[in-house]
Structure 1
Amino acid sequence: YEEAVEKAFGLFHWLLLVVCGWANASDAVEILCVSFLLPTARCDLLLSSSDKGLLTASIFLMMVGGYMWGYLADQRGRREVLVLSLAVNGVFGGLASTAPWFWLFLLLRFISGIVGGSIPVIFSYFSEFMPRLRRGAMISALATFWMAGNILAALAWLVIPSTWAHFSLGMLDFQSWRLFVVLCSVPSLTSALLFKLLMPESPKFLMEGLVPVKRMFTGSLKSRSIALLMVFYCLSFYYGLWMWFPELLQRLEHGGSPCANVSLPSPLHNQSCYPVETAVFKESFIIAASNLPGNILTILIMDWTGGKVLLCSLLVSSLSVFLIYVVQTKAQSLVFSCVFSGVSVISWNALDVVGTELYPTQLSSALGFFTGVGRVAAITGNVVFGKLVETNCAVPILLASALLLTGGLVACLLPQTRQSELT
């Protein structure tokens, strides 16, 4: 199998990269769209800070979907699972745009998250087509599409401030942020269609048997599983900070630091959200675009250094988060936020490569399990930020910094997997 894959690299693999990459981008769009609509939707849905924390956490219930779809992918095949999960995720994500009340919007996002979460399967599926000597760079290139989705979501400033997108739909006041929610469901739906029409089943899945999930915590896999579990949790907690970036940047418009004691307009008065302040969206776009250098770097050097070495960038991420807390001006905060964004993406790309290479490819549910652990951390981070952002936002920011530091140190315990053969 390895010999055949080594000799078969060509145009198909670049098409595979685009299709799988677009699906990966859909994950970023689905996750991040909520953070960009909060400054406006908080008025129409009458959201408190705790409500915002629950809403941003809801999409991370992909934790359940991640393991479920990984298990089904090991049983039924990668392609079938990807088509179904992406389609359902897009449908419920789009339906959320019509919800007139917060609890219904939350429920639909909850279903979208719990039914979605097929991204670990994408990485397993993709890696099974890749030759050993190119796999690190190609998986890094696949991970780069998450940045593309991040940038697409950040283009909210082209949609949400628009007045032309405001109309009445029966009893529903269809504001521009609702149109943005609809647009954010398009990548998932089109990804499902592309997999259905263009992509074959993984040949490695078709030729090999099944591996029980419990094998992750037995024998030689046990120590690496524990270490990887800790790294996923520590790195994923930062989603709490990432999802609240637009909110923190908005606070900088009114005070001297992200944690300044600022009284923002009450969400109970619709007029306070309009006209929409576009500066926050543009700054979020800049932060998203700052992923590019880190993505390029990982593509160029991943096959040379291996993923374990690049996971050490978690230490720099920890420092940059700490500096976000201590800065006193908006410009300084934006600079360190960009540094954090650019460095953390190196860690994520390295983790995607390491997580794929550490386990037998039949065990795609392993990566789904660890991604699920990461979603637990993301939910925790979002809920903690939602509860403390008004009273003591220093606690979750400093906690995120400490966990990134811990993750970087634990990553040193993982084995080197550079250019190893898939088993």
Structure 2
Amino acid sequence: MPTLLTAAPPKAPVLLSTQNEKAFRINSIDLLRGLVMVIMALDHSRDFLHTTAWTDDPLNLQTTTPLLFFTRWITHFCAPVFVFLAGSSIYFQSGRKTKKDLSLFLLKRGLWLLFIEIVIINLAFSFDLTYNTIGLQTIWSIGISMICMAAIIWLPFKAILALGLVIILGHNGLDFYEKGHDNNYNPVYLFLHHPGMLHLGASHNILVLYPFLSWVGLMTMGYCFGRLFMRYEGAARRQMLLRLGFGVIAFFIVLRAINIYGNPEHWTQQKNVLYTIMSFIDVHKYPPSLLYMCVTIGPALLFLAAAEGAKGTLSKVITVYGRVPFFYYVLHFFLLHAVATVFFFASGHTMAETKDLPLLVPKFIIPGQGYSLAVVYAVWLSVVAFLYPLCKWFSDYKQTHRDWWLSYL
């Protein structure tokens, strides 16, 4: 940590150029971001298609199977890694923008993402033109965190680091308060730390699934990591990433083993070793606990170490998704829900059956009906493959054009 506090001025990020533009890209980070975007689509494929997606929790150790458990668990990496890397990207931009320009950009980008979450993503997820229930999920958490970062970047770096550490290490202290609470939280607290539903009259609701306090802390730490990342190059960077990654994982193992702090639910011994391990790594996402962030960010740092200088066809393909994550995110939601809709009518269902669905269930999905994990995996891979040409086209377009609006996509 002292090396972070005394870091020399950052070196410029790796520069990739084309005939018409110069764009700052860091390939290993694009590769990691692309990987989590691909994995993320697996979870959403399960949401739209799996037979128990709306009737049971895939992490419920009493009813799940190892394959179903890890199908869900592996996707835990997606949101925290993306938010963490978004924080790092903010630091990389600080070398190319004035603080005022960067702050204004973060404010506008954050507000834009809130609009996209409310209007576009909710429509893609629900296919409900009445917007009966507005869900505040991943894009909301990134947008509100960017709005907060618009103010945070004005602080001295040591204060930014201290703020991130206090939030990340300390927010689970609120678990003790919540244990003795009757769940009748005021709206401010729902937005801050505890998921919940806000009722707006008789027919409209806001579902706060991603309270923002811990996400802001994670983005803040990603910003600080960006400074550390740029301090090193080559073998020295790999060694730093390995030490930091293994250190975070070791911290997770020790703190989780103590079983007192860092996660609202404790792990317990199960019917066999595998299920006990599953209990041990089953950590709290809504909001992300300290241990949740450790078990996802630690391995992500190790991946960055391995990805330094990565080449090959597969890494190039995955990197494409990481260069246009917002574009991919919006399209994959619409496409997956469209596939589910086709399956719905192909199974003999009618439009009339969509009128009386439970409150939070997307249209054209019947709880308890669906398909096996084999179908889920097949659709997932098909959707990812289908989107590749579009993502490749848009990635190439962004690298050869400098239109202002591209920074918002």
What is the TM-score of this pair, normalised by structure 2? 0.30
In terms of fraction of residues, the more helix-rich structure is 1
What is the TM-score of this pair, normalised by structure 1? 0.29
